[in-house]
Amino acid sequence: MIPMGNIIAQRLHEVVLEGELGIDYTFAGDRDKNIALRRKYKVNDAKMKEILLEISETHYIKSEPSTNVNHPDDVVHVFKIQKELMPKFEESSSYVNVCIYVKITWPDGKEPMFIISFHEDEE
| Closest to 88 in 3D by CA, of 44, 29, 34 | 44
Residue 112 domain boundaries: 4-120
User: Which secondary-structure segment (H or E) carries 119?
Assistant: strand 114-120
Domains: count for the chain: 1
For 35-62, what is each residue's pLDDT tens digit?
888 888 888 888 888 998 999 999 999 9
Write the CB contacts of 74 (distance below 8 Å, at least 6 apart in sequence): 65, 66, 68, 105, 106, 107, 108
Q: Around Cβ 7, how many Cβ atoms within 10 Å? A: 14
- Give helix 45-54 / helix 4-18 axis angle, nearest 10°: 140
User: Which secondary-structure segment (H or E) carries 122?
Assistant: none
Q: What are phi and psi of 20, to 5 degrees?
A: -120, 130
Kindly report the CATH number assigned to the domain that includes residue 13. Answer: 3.30.2310.40
User: Which secondary-structure segment (H or E) carries 42?
Assistant: none
| Closest to 83 in 3D by CA, of 114, 108, 120 | 120
Question: Each residue's pLDDT tens digit in the chain (123 positions)?
Answer: 568 889 889 988 988 899 888 888 887 777 788 888 888 888 888 888 899 899 999 999 998 888 877 777 788 888 999 998 888 877 777 888 888 888 887 666 555 567 788 777 766
Amino acid at 10: Q
CA 54 to chain CA centroid, nearest Å: 11
